[in-house]
Amino acid sequence: MSRASRARKVVTAAAFGGGGLGALSAAAVGIIYGESKLARRRIAPAETDPPRADGLWVATGADPRAAVLTLAMLGDSSAAGYGVHLDSETPGARLALGLSALAGRPIRLHNVARVGAQSSELVGQVERVLEHRPEVAVIMIGANDVTHRVRATESVRGLTAALLELRAADVHVVVGTCPDLGTVRPIAQPLRWLARRLSRTLAAAQAVAVVAAGGRAVSLGDILGPEFEASHEYFSEDRFHPSAIGYARAAEVLLPSAAAALGLTTTAEPPGPFTSSRARPVAQAAARAASRPGTEVAATTVDGAPIGRRGPWARLTRRRAPAVMPPTPGPDGHRPPDTMVGQAAGASPDQAATDLSE
């Protein structure tokens, strides 16, 4: 069964109460759970909460007197920023500063993400942020669902419920889908490849659900994998959570989609030999994105129709990280000494986007 077929099956089962991927995949999840118990012995449990980054963020060059935009962060430890030491190193703060630079306005951040959270907790998190009336919400979720044997159908059901509440309140939504757990070193081979398979299947199913709800899904995939092979500095001391550098990479791929959701200016590169404007059935697009980090999946139309014979249409887009992102932390995990909180590198409000190559 292809990843696209598995993703369709998961989303359909989530909508109609089915069991999901069946006995074989359930057994695989059980194996991963057993291996994750061993991995946890090598991973120090969370002893402190991540830095609190809630509040007003104003990038250098933004007008502090302009109307404030509100950004909500929801999800698990990856959204909370567990593993870093400064509030400005959390992904929420980096996204807030990047959006502030692009919009030229202050960004108020409300982060309700919790270390260890699973998709079933998202509705409760949504209820906490809706009172602040955010314009855009960024969700990062999924890893704990995989390592705690949560069926993909249940994960997608929890995510979908949260998405529908946010969209009903006219909140734009960007979801960083489940990261590729095959890059996590404390999970030993040969079971690591199963973690990769399960996490990518969940990521694809999440993307299908996000597009159906009118949001934008961004693949985190193995975004830290190649860098981790070369340097362990992309992960924190526990070798499970990202370091400040790792969170900076994640924020870089999420920021352009959050900006696009808010209607901020983006510039698309003209089609070339490695780009395509092709629309695909959403499950096929989601499956393709799951193994290509930094890829956005969003709804589109073909000849004016949003749905084709094989379901809703979606388009894959690769967006460059805009130059307005705060400088990436140095190898020690901290900002360069001459970089002040609130500063943003670069002056251009534009960001380039290209369709994913064939």
Domains of the chain, each with CATH number or no CATH: 3-355 (3.40.50.1110)
Q: Which of 25, 77, 119, 236 is catalytic?
A: 77
The closest alpha carbon to 316, from 193, 217, 197, belongs to 217
Mark whether 2 is an active-site residue: no
Task: Look up the pTM and report it.
Answer: 0.81
| Catalytic choice (241, 243, 257, 355) | 241
Determine whether 170 is an active site residue.
no
What is the model's pLDDT at position 248? 85
Rounded mean pLDDT of the chain? 76
196 touches 180 (CB < 8 A): yes
Cα–Cα distances in angstroms (integers) from residue 279 to residues 208, 256, 308, in the given order = 14, 20, 10
91, 247 contact by CB (below 8 A) = yes
Check pLDDT > 90 for residue 317: no
Residue scoring higher pLDDT (349 or 109): 109
Contacts of 213 (CB under 8 A, 6+ apart): 160, 163, 164, 167, 173
Please indicate whether residue 148 is annotated as part of the active site.
no
Residue pair 316/299 in contact by the 8 Å Cβ criterion: no
Which has the minimum average pLDDT: 23-37, 156-170, 212-226, 257-271? 23-37
The DSSP H or E segment spanning 15 is helix 3-16
Q: Between residues 84 and 291, which one has the greater pLDDT?
A: 84
**H or E element in which residue 249 lies:** helix 244-261
| pLDDT value of position 337 | 34
Lowest mean pLDDT among 47-51, 299-303, 310-314: 47-51
Q: Which residue among 85, 132, 238, 276 is the active-site one?
A: 238
Residue bearing the bigger pLDDT, 39 or 343:
39
